[in-house]
Amino acid sequence: MLFKHSFFYRYVAPYTGRLLFNVLLRVLSALFTLVLTIAIAPLLALLFDTGKAESAMTGGGLAQSGMELLENWVHLSVVTNGKYETLLYVVLALLSAYFLKNLCAYMGLYLFIPIRNQMVARLRNDMFHKFMILPLSFYANQQKGDLISRISNNTQDVDTQMLNQIQQVMVDVVTFIFLIAALFFISTPLTICVLILLPLIGVLTSFLSRSLKRKSKRLQDTIGHISAQVTESLEGIKTLRSYNTTGYALRKFEAENALFFKLNTRVFRRLYSSHPLNEVLGTTAVALILVIGGYLILSDKSLRPEAFITYLVTMIQILPTSKNIMTAYFTYQSGKGSWMRIKEVLKADEVILEKKNAAEIHDIRQSIRFENVGFTYGKKPTLKNIDLELPKGRFIALVGPSGGGKSTIINLIPRFFDPVSGKVLFDGKDIADCKIDCIRALSSLVSQDTVLFNDTIYNNILLGNPQASREEVIQAAKMADAHDFIMATSNGYDTLIGDSGTKLSGGQRQRLSIARALVKKAPVLLFDEATSALDTEAECRIMQAVQQAGKQNGQTIVSVAHRLSSIRQADEIIVIEEGEIVGRGTHEELYEGNSLYRKLCQMQNLDNRTTTPQARQQNEIQ
């Protein structure tokens, strides 16, 4: 469990085999680098004509014999082919080694690219999956743009700053080890000096990189806020313009952008400090080597000049390698800021959890019951001791002043939240013991905020029930009073509705949402101010059609309505005030016996009769 959210456990470990193969190619590449380095000594011996180019190495019988083998070959070639031709052979060998070194390095990269992309794809999938299952309470505390930034910018950063660095470090570490081995091969005392300098570099590096991770996390948070501000401002552009308040949005954005500038400057200054630091340390190391090497050649005579030059060439190759490792470490640390932001999402509490042996439930035969339900979002209780029976096939309305807790009751039915106390029961079964998918399949919710997708009208309705036939979609649209306006659009049901349905009016969008809910044919229909954007006449028409269909199909309808004209025909009306049920009964009963309900009706010019004036007129004509 401890490692479950570790970056390596989930995103690197599954690719170990392929990564190791990549390392193998890198080892080969490093080996060719080594060959190139060591082959320089006989080449120099040949050019400077230092007689029998004895091994310049200080230790290792096997190593010495390898070097001797090389020298013997050079001498043999000088005798048979002459110096110039031998030089050409040596150069040709060097070129081949270069070619093979780069070929192996490229093959390694070639194979690493799909691994890296798979890692990123997996990371994005994990995040999106989490987005889909996180409870609504999570979204109440998050900005949409910030979450978008986490799944787009931050995953990209993890790719470039962490995954890319892992592969870079693999390459460099292997090369580094081989080059250090080569240094030992040439001169042990000199190499011991180099190894004393390396931990010093390490200490300085970790000191500088310590704050980088923290700074980078703050920077990424700021990018998230910028993204959130852009999303918010673009979504509300109409409101901002109409109130002439674009200046307000601009000021907020500029302040966030200024903070980004400040933090980004700091992060990059710290990031780039690794380069000069490394240069200074590297140059100091070379200067020290020059002094010690010079001593070994001039006084001690234990080191040959050509071996020393080979040593320096090898050292020069080590410097960029160690610099790369250091830079990769720094970049990795700054990438961790992004990873921490991703981890916050991946680790977020799912709250609504399914029990291990959760029961399946596919229908509601009798009723939905709220048993002494209490709920709170924060400190103040939102619902108190709610006891409520919603019998199958009935039309129940929830009314009352806004903020009373009506939507909260609706949201407890598909288990968007769990009650803090008490239970919600479907046919006597606690929904907390049932499969979440089953519970959600039993109801369809239409809320005040219509959500439509950038697709055809047909597909937007079909989303409610992908198995529905075209006839069923059309029937649902007719019931939702949407068929006529759909047929009037350019391509009828196949018309594209634009981003979030921007090409449609508020009322049309709401009609499509209702059609989508109806096509699902779920046992429970939850309407949360679902008809608020419609005119009273259309609202009554739709509610009557829905009620009729509900009666025929045995569907339970739970409707929250501000406009009481649409629900006065309900079988039961529940009056809710400050999280408590303060009245229940039919329209007529409540009008007579409940002062709050009567007041609400009078404010809307409603009398105590259950039918609408239009319906009454029709009845009179008949």
Please give the residue ranges that form the binding site for ligand ADP (CB under 6 A).
140, 377-378, 382, 402-408
In the chain, DSSP finds a helix count (H) and a strand count (E) of 24, 10
CB 399 to ligand ADP: min, Å: 9
CB 574 to ligand ADP: min, Å: 11
d(Cα 393, Cα 549) in Å, to the nearest integer?
10
d(Cα 459, Cα 335) in Å, to the nearest integer?
40
CB 571 to ligand ADP: min, Å: 20
Q: Is 170 helix (H, G, I), strand (E, B) or coil?
A: helix
- Amino acid identity for residue 594 in this structure: N
Q: Which is nearer to ligand ADP, 137 or 152 (CB)?
A: 137
Structure tokens of 369? Answer: 């019951």
Q: Partners of 527 in the beta sheet?
A: 446, 559
CB 123 to ligand ADP: min, Å: 28
CB 147 to ligand ADP: min, Å: 16
Q: How would you classify residue 300: left for phi > 0, otherwise alpha for psi between -120 and 50, otherwise beta?
A: alpha
d(Cα 267, Cα 213) in Å, to the nearest integer?
9
CB 246 within 8 A of CB 240: yes
CA Rg, the chain, in Å?
37
Structure tokens of 570? Answer: 């309900």
Q: Which is nearer to ligand ADP, 448 or 475 (CB)?
A: 448
CB 577 to ligand ADP: min, Å: 9
**CB atoms closer than 10 angstroms to residue 276:** 9
Q: Which is nearer to ligand ADP, 182 or 575 (CB)?
A: 575
Q: Which is nearer to ligand ADP, 242 or 402 (CB)?
A: 402
Q: Which is nearer to ligand ADP, 224 or 405 (CB)?
A: 405
Query: Strand 421-426 vs strand 580-585: parallel, antiparallel, or unpaired?
Result: unpaired
Q: Which is nearer to ligand ADP, 22 or 447 (CB)?
A: 447
The three-state DSSP-derived secondary structure of 207-246 is: HHHHHHHHHHHHHHHHHHHHHHHHHHHHHCHHHHHHCCCH
What is the secondary structure of 432-487 as a DSSP string?
Answer: GGB-HHHHHHTEEEE-SS----SSBHHHHHHTT-TT--HHHHHHHHHHTT-HHHHH
Q: Which is nearer to ligand ADP, 147 or 240 (CB)?
A: 147
Q: Is 166 helix (H, G, I), strand (E, B) or coil?
A: helix
CB 407 to ligand ADP: min, Å: 3
CB 541 to ligand ADP: min, Å: 24
Q: Which is nearer to ligand ADP, 247 or 378 (CB)?
A: 378
CB 420 to ligand ADP: min, Å: 13
Q: Which is nearer to ligand ADP, 417 or 493 (CB)?
A: 417
Cα distances from 421 to residues 353, 370, 383, 414, 576, in angstroms, run 16, 11, 10, 17, 18
CB 524 to ligand ADP: min, Å: 18
Structure tokens of 37? Answer: 């380095």
Q: Which is nearer to ligand ADP, 33 or 447 (CB)?
A: 447
